Amino acid sequence: MATTQATSESLPVIALMGNPNAGKTSVFNMLTGLRRQVANYPGVTVEKASGIVRHNATQLEVLDLPGAYSLTARSPDEFVVTEILLGLRDDTKPLDAAVVVIDATNLERNLFLASQVLEAGLPTVIALNMTDIAERRGIQIDSDKLAANLGVPVIPIVASTGKGRVALIEAIEKAIGGDKPSPICDWPDAVNQSVEALSAEIAKRNGAAEPVTPYELRRCLLDANGEMERKLLAHHPDSRALAEFVSGQREKIKVSGHSPANLEAEIRYACIADIVSGCLKRTPNTQPTRSERLDNLLTHRILGTLIFVAVMTVTFISVFSWAAPLMDGIEAMFGALAGWVHSALGEGLLATFLTDGVIGGVGSVLVFLPQIMILIALITLLEDCGYLARAAFLMDRVLRVFGLGGRGFVPLLSSFACAIPGVMATRTIECPRERLITILIAPLMACSARIPVYTIFVAAFIPQKVVLGFLPLQGLVFAGMYFFGIVAAAVAALVFRSVLQGRTPTPFILELPSYKKPSIKLILWRSFDRGKVFVQSAGTIILAMSIIIWALLYFPRPADLETKVRADMQQAGITEPVKIENAVAGEYLRNSYMGRVGKAIEPAVKPLGWDWKIGMATLASFPAREVVVSTLGIIYNLGAGADEESTALRQKLQSATWPDGRKVYNIPVVLSIMVFFALCCQCGGTVAVIKRETNSWKWAAVAFSYMTILAYVGALVVYQVGIRIS
């Protein structure tokens, strides 16, 4: 690894560009053999994937860029492709060549982006991908003629099988250092004049600053509300005057009879029609294609909806039921490991640090992997066969009410299992603002970590009554908590929608690709890749949090405390070692730093109806909600083993009293606790993954703070209203 990095400094760099789903990642994998490094481009949420191509004596560094239909960019995320192509990013070396991956089954639209790239002044190679599917559909493309018309090499490939790999690499090698392609479209005089005028204007105002290329100037003029304009103007001292100049030039273009917004597409598609006219043949389909017949069924008003519900149910249940045994297995494994360390090292600081801090922490990272990997595999399956786009098509109307789009449905549904893969699944949402809102509300869905919390309190305090003759009250409360999470998420989405006004309305544009057989290789690869990314990015954060919380719960440990407890127990005539151990553990915990903080903040949680023990257990569960149950277990001298099924813990909770003898727990208190845990963001993994996916601590902090405040206020209202009613 180290040697690769050392040499990669001097290697030529190429980048893969193309429409979404054109096969860029498949080409990347074909070229590099699956080995890649992922990071984030600073300042944006876009993932930076790079790898090394090795072929005979050749070595190249290759970048896999996000999919784009056009170089027109209206957000920093979209702009990354344009910036890298033009060498405008400080964190990425200028490219030596561009490779445009185009989908042969959709030649004209894919050539739109290609025609833009050809003008960027870089040696370019076109990888004509999916030639196998094109052939099957009776689409014939004469790639030599296409190459001649475009003036750049066109290499037919099948990225999924590796066909054409060598030819592609050789073409890239030959292109590097070679001629720049010449543009294939001519611009009207009005545009050329405006570009010159703008160039002169900037030069006049800038003095010696680096010149802006005509290509960038044209992007700036033609892209309504574009990122290029923002970039040029932002760094300019006279930005206002320049902005006025730009709109003046746009007006001029309009007067000359062209609409600046549509001009580029009109010109390019006209050129493209000429270019493909001699080299593209389609057997005209007289009857609906297989894909259209499938659509008739899958988007049918009734049958389609039923199938949708069935598919989503199966997906959701699979995550739950397949992940559960694996998660239990991981927990058991780490439990056994901890037991082994204990038996090898005995009690004491080191052993406890290793078992409760380190092993427990690593276990709490890895325990998420089954859910993440299964869910990502299922979503990739749905996406790859084409169904995910249909699901978005069906659900868009519903989610739009909350300012979201159809693509938000699956991530939000996934969040009922676990918000971590749910947040990771938002990568399928193209609109950045919609994606952000979805990320922020996903943790409000009642994930599986809330179940133990609800279970213990419902079982201990909600009477086993039947209401309305057939509805079990406990079940109703449970369902109510799920519903409550959904309502809270809907409200939060509406609030975020009005707070986070987008700079420009991003139109909802959803390609509905033809259905196809999913690629098992891709599914497995994506699932492992996302698992790896999670461990790398969230692992350290969760581990650090676990160790800090462990230390706060463990220290200080004055020895006389234990002696005193043992003496008290002896006096009370209690001799069972387990009871004594648990009493000692409880006393240490109550006396720990966390316990002291818990007591200190009791005034803050009293308005919620909580005593300091609940407050402290809540603090201890900041890295993971479900920890509140086992912490309560230790506080009540039951040892760390008490879980949500523990009758002993239920009895302790039922009989817990304030110093004045009143019962701690009643219905308003229990509801206040459950509402708090429904709304809070007590999950280190979620916080870490939000940081990773938005590439900023800011949004992680926003999510954590808004949920914590919401949780506190929600619990406060429930308790205060509750005690007044009851």
Partner 1 sequence: MIAQNPRTLADLKASAKATVASLQGEPAVQQRLAEMGLTSGRQIRMVRVAPLGDPYQIEVLNYHLSLRRRECECVLLATDPA
Ligand X SMILES: Nc1nc2c(ncn2[C@@H]2O[C@H](COP(=O)(O)OP(=O)(O)O)[C@@H](O)[C@H]2O)c(=O)[nH]1
Binding site for partner 1 (CB under 8 A): 69-70, 72, 74, 106, 108-109, 112, 222-225, 259-262, 264-266, 269, 282, 291-292, 295, 299-301, 304-305, 389, 392-394, 396-398, 400, 406, 504-505, 507-514
Task: Please calculate the CA angle 465-471-474 and round it to the nearest 5 degrees.
Answer: 50
What does the block give as tokens for 629? 């149950």
Q: Which is nearer to partner 1, 103 or 356 (CB)?
A: 103
Closest CB to partner 1 among residues 284, 348 = 284
692 binds, among Mg ion, ligand X, partner 1, none (CB under 5 to 8 A by kind): none
26 binds ligand X, rule: CB under 6 A: yes
Contact positions with ligand X (CB under 6 A) in 256-315:
none
Which does residue 69 touch among ligand X, Mg ion, partner 1, none (CB within 5 to 8 A, set by kind)? partner 1
User: 294: alpha, beta or left, given left = phi > 0 and alpha = psi -120 to 50?
Assistant: alpha
Q: Which DSSP string do the residues of 562-590 spell out, in sequence order?
A: HHHHHHHHHHHT---HHHHHHHHHHHHHH
d(CA 287, CA 289): 6
Q: Give the binding range for ligand X (CB under 6 A) out of 125-133, 268-276, 483-491, 686-694.
A: 125-133
CB of 215 closer than 8 Å to CB of 120: yes
Q: How far is the CB of 388 from partner 1 (least distance, A)?
A: 12
- 25 or 380: whose CB is closer to Mg ion? 25
Q: Choose between 68 and 614: whose C-beta lies nearer to ligand X.
A: 68
Give the residue carrying structure tokens 């590439």: 695
- What is the rounded distance in angstroms from the CA atom of residue 150 to the CA atom of residue 166? 22
Closest by CA to 64, choosing from 537, 535, 695, 529, is 529
CB under 5 to 8 A by kind: which of ligand X, partner 1, Mg ion, none does 129 bind? ligand X
CB of 390 to Mg ion, least distance (A): 20
Confirm or reject binding of residue 592 to Mg ion (CB under 5 A): no
The residue sitting closest to Mg ion, measured at its beta carbon, is 25
- Under a CB-based contact definition with an 8 Å cutoff, are residues 15 and 28 in contact? no
Looking at residue 265, what DSSP letter applies? H
Query: Are 668 and 641 contacting, i.e. CB atoms less than 8 angstroms apart?
Result: no
Q: Which stretches of 415-472 are DSSP H helices? A: 419-424, 432-441, 450-461
Judged by CB under 6 A, the chain residues 149 through 168 that form the site for ligand X are 158-160
> Of 13, 14, 15, 23, which one interacts with ligand X (CB under 6 A)?
23
Q: Which does 393 bind (CB under 5 to 8 A by kind): ligand X, partner 1, Mg ion, none?
A: partner 1
Q: Which of helix, strand or coil describes residue 449?
A: coil
The strand pair at 471-472 and 466-467 is best described as antiparallel
CB 111 within 8 A of CB 28: no
Partner from ligand X, Mg ion, partner 1, none binding residue 535, C-beta < 5-8 Å depending on class: none
Among positions 11, 39, 88, 133, the unique one binding ligand X when judged by CB under 6 A: 133
Smallest gap from residue 24 Cβ to Mg ion (A): 5
Closer to ligand X by CB, 32 or 646: give it. Answer: 32
Closest CA to 441 of 399, 378, 470: 399
CA dist 302 and 253 (Å) reads 50
Between 63 and 481, name the residue whose CB sits nearer to ligand X. 63
Binding mask 328-367 for ligand X (x = CB under 6 A): ----------------------------------------
Core vs surface per residue 213-227: b (16+ CB within 10 A) or e: ebbbbbbbbbbeebb
Per-residue contact flags (x/-) with Mg ion for residues 652 to 691, judged by CB under 5 A:
----------------------------------------
Question: Closest CB to partner 1 among 112 and 461?
Answer: 112
In sequence order, the 6+-apart residues with CB closer than 8 A to the CB of 393 are: 299, 406, 510, 512
Size of the site for Mg ion (CB under 5 A): 2
Binding segment for Mg ion among 24-32, 373-381, 504-512, 646-654 (CB under 5 A)? 24-32
Applying CB under 5 A, among 15, 18, 22, 25 the residue interacting with Mg ion is 25
Minimum distance between the CB of residue 67 and Mg ion, rounded to whole angstroms? 6
Residue 522 contacts ligand X per CB under 6 A? yes
Q: Is the CB of 301 or the CB of 517 nearer to partner 1?
A: 301
> Three-state SS for 706?
helix
Kindly report the backbone phi and psi dihedral angles of residue 224, in degrees, each rounded to the nearest multiple of 5, phi listed first: -65, 125
Indicate the SS3 state at residue 98: strand
User: Taking CB within 5 to 8 Å according to partner kind, which of partner 1, Mg ion, ligand X, none is near residue 21?
Assistant: ligand X
Q: Of 24 and 590, which has the nearer Cβ to Mg ion? A: 24
Query: Of the candidates 13, 14, 15, 24, which one interacts with ligand X according to CB under 6 A?
Result: 24
Question: Which residue, 379 or 549, has its beta carbon nearer to ligand X?
Answer: 379
DSSP lists the bridge partners of residue 40 as 47
Strands 97-103 and 124-129: parallel
CA atoms of 460 and 454, how far apart (whole Å): 10
Closer CB to Mg ion, residue 29 or residue 546? 29
Question: Rule CB under 6 A: is residue 382 a binding residue for ligand X?
Answer: no
Residue 293: CB atoms within 10 Å: 12
Task: Return d(Cα 104, Cα 146) in angstroms, integer.
Answer: 12
Work out which of 206, 299, 519, 537 binds ligand X, going by CB under 6 A: 519
**What is the smallest separation between the CB atom of 130 and ligand X, expressed in angstroms?**
4
Q: Would you give the binding string for Mg ion spanning residues 624-643, x where CB under 5 A is met? A: --------------------
Name which of ligand X, Mg ion, partner 1, none residue 693 binds, using a CB cut-off of 5 to 8 Å depending on partner kind. Answer: none
Report how far residue 568's alpha carbon sits from residue 575's, in angstroms, rounded to the nearest whole number: 11
- The amino acid sitting at 192 is N
Nearest by Cα to 451 from 422, 485, 425: 485
Q: Which is nearer to Mg ion, 81 or 417 (CB)?
A: 81
Locate tokens 């982006």: which residue?
113
Residues that bind ligand X (CB under 6 A): 18, 20-26, 67, 129-130, 132-133, 158-160, 384, 519, 522
Residues that bind Mg ion (CB under 5 A): 24-25
